[in-house]
Amino acid sequence: MKRRQFVKAGAALAAAASLPRFSFAQVKGGDRIKVGLIGCGGRGTGALKNMIEADQNVQVVALADLFPEKLDWAANDVRGFCQERYSAQADDIIKPDTVKKFGGWDCVDQLLAEDVDVVIEATPPPFRTPHYEKIVKAGKHAFLEKPACIDVTQAKKMLELADEAKKKGLCVVCGTQRRYHPYYQELIKRIQDGELGEILSQQCYWNMGGYIGQWVNFPDLDPESIEYQIRAWWCFIWASGDHIVEQHVHNIDVCMWALGDNRFPVEVRGMGGRSTDLPWPRFGDRFSHFAIDYDMGNGLRMSSYCQQDPGVNDEVGERMVGTKGMCYSTLGGKGALWISDLKGKRLWESQDIPVSELVLEHKYLLDAIRNGENVNTLKTLVNSTLVAIAGRMSTFTGKKFKYDWVLARSKEDLMPKNLDFAAKNPTHVPVPGKEQLV
């Protein structure tokens, strides 16, 4: 491979001297990039495989997971993938016997003390912020899964960390994969070039006929315990952000992107509820549906809908209507994204893509690291996450509020103070009209 520019981490290199425990991420263009994975579940191992697919000149150095039983499974899963897809390079990419494996609450500190250049962080949402704080301190590049955070307190911290990473010359790319899909990119460019005219309305959807977490079954654990809530994280507001934040952030993010990532709601009013079919507390305290009316100013409304209920119709996508035309977008190939005139005549549509957006997002990150570019997409993810958080806050309380209030005044902090596995963390399902806005 052609030797490319040495990655200058700028001020970071000087700062590295004050971090004796950590080896600061420094990659020369053609070097084998050393990777660590935090969170060895479905998406973490998936993201690691996507990264390997993007660039086989990587070495998996270390794996970390709160629950040690995940570690061997993850190592073998990724190894099996490499043997099947890249048999000649499999030994260079990952050797399950030599890859370092760390479990327990200090697994992240241990992983960061290893010689890794880039870290994939794919734990449940409440841990992203404290982990990213450690990752930045250790001077590592990062791929962060979405959402950025669970509440306003964490969002503020993540905005600070985005600036700190930039100052240190650390790349950070986030798991909003639509941003790396070539036809999403083309659609957004066409919108921003004015093909729809002035945008008058946006609708976005993550409605699915199943309840993530409906398989949850830990009969030996108390649903009020921290261990249960982390293992069944999709079901709990603090552990997931609820599905408006955890999943629907993808669609809100597309709407924000189409508007140039610099236009925010003026006012927020949401409503929603929870199916009576979900026994509490086994299935947590979360809602099953949200509908939010975001007043985006100048007459534009963004309507956001998300639902998870067994048996309901699925729809995941975005729709926008402008003065000259309209568009629809959903992840997929030919015809999944399109633009039409206001009478419905198709003017443009997507084609099949040869490489998945889940691979392209890692290619973007690794190419930037090799080329010494300082890419940093964290603020856009924090902003989209915060818009989803505001929708959730309005839904739970039934209150309409100015969006500016969220960062200026809200004290929302959902993280339990005691994370001992056996600690009790009683939850309740919010009742709109009674729940307080904080």
Ligand X SMILES: NC(=O)c1ccc[n+]([C@@H]2O[C@H](COP(=O)([O-])OP(=O)(O)OC[C@H]3O[C@@H](n4cnc5c(N)ncnc54)[C@H](O)[C@@H]3O)[C@@H](O)[C@H]2O)c1
* Identity of the residue, 66 or 199, whose beta carbon is nearer to ligand X in the bound complex: 66
Q: Which residues contact 126 (CB under 8 A, 6 or more apart)?
A: 149, 150, 154, 238, 239, 241, 414, 415
Q: What distance in Å separates the CA atoms of residue 309 and residue 320, rounded to the nearest whole number? A: 25
- Return the DSSP state at 178: G
Residue choice 13, 29, 32, 43 for contact with ligand X (CB under 6 A): 43
Q: What distance in Å separates the CA atoms of residue 163 and residue 199, rounded to the nearest whole number? A: 31
Binding of ligand X by 317 (CB under 6 A): no
Q: Which stretch binds ligand X (CB under 6 A): 41-49, 87-95, 112-120, 426-434?
A: 41-49
Question: Do the strands 315-322 and 199-208 form a parallel or antiparallel pair, or are they unpaired?
Answer: antiparallel
Binding of ligand X by 309 (CB under 6 A): no
Q: Which stretch binds ligand X (CB under 6 A): 20-28, 40-48, 148-156, 383-391?
A: 40-48
* 402 SS3 class: strand
Asked whether 300 and 199 are in contact (CB, 8 A), the reply is yes
Asked whether 427 and 224 are in contact (CB, 8 A), the reply is yes
Task: Supply the minimum distance, in Å, between the C-beta of residue 134 and ligand X.
Answer: 11
Residue choice 25, 33, 38, 337 for contact with ligand X (CB under 6 A): 38
Residue choice 55, 114, 145, 227 for contact with ligand X (CB under 6 A): 145
Q: What are phi and psi of 115, to 5 degrees?
A: -85, 75
Q: Give the footprint of ligand X on residues 217-246 (CB under 6 A).
A: 230, 246
Residue choice 16, 55, 124, 359 for contact with ligand X (CB under 6 A): 124
Residue choice 36, 139, 169, 175 for contact with ligand X (CB under 6 A): 175
Q: Which stretch binds ligand X (CB under 6 A): 122-130, 288-296, 300-308, 322-330?
A: 122-130
Q: 348: which strand partners?
A: 339
Interface size with ligand X, residues (CB under 6 A)? 24
* Identity of the residue, 321 or 415, whose beta carbon is nearer to ligand X in the bound complex: 415
Residue choice 20, 42, 354, 426 for contact with ligand X (CB under 6 A): 42
* Identity of the residue, 6 or 105, whose beta carbon is nearer to ligand X in the bound complex: 105
* Identity of the residue, 38 or 359, whose beta carbon is nearer to ligand X in the bound complex: 38
* Identity of the residue, 43 or 156, whose beta carbon is nearer to ligand X in the bound complex: 43
Binding of ligand X by 357 (CB under 6 A): no
Rounded (5°) CA angle 345-347-349 = 115
Binding of ligand X by 127 (CB under 6 A): yes
How would DSSP label each residue in 232-280? TGGG-HHHH--HHHHTTHHHHHHHHHHTTS----SEEEEEEE--TTS-T
Q: Which stretch binds ligand X (CB under 6 A): 14-22, 65-73, 219-227, 284-292?
A: 65-73
Asked whether 107 and 95 are in contact (CB, 8 A), the reply is no
Binding of ligand X by 44 (CB under 6 A): yes
Q: Which stretch binds ligand X (CB under 6 A): 32-40, 136-144, 257-265, 371-379?
A: 32-40
Q: What are phi and psi of 200, to 5 degrees?
A: -105, -30
Residue choice 56, 67, 266, 273 for contact with ligand X (CB under 6 A): 67
Nearest residue to ligand X by CB is: 41
Residue choice 23, 50, 123, 377 for contact with ligand X (CB under 6 A): 123
* Identity of the residue, 124 or 272, whose beta carbon is nearer to ligand X in the bound complex: 124
Per-state percent for the chain, helix, strand, coil, to nearest 5:
35, 20, 45
Beta-sheet strands, E only, within 12-87: 33-38, 58-65
Asked whether 214 and 234 are in contact (CB, 8 A), the reply is no
Enumerate binding residues for ligand X (CB under 6 A). 38-44, 64-67, 70, 107, 122-125, 127, 145-146, 175, 177, 230, 246
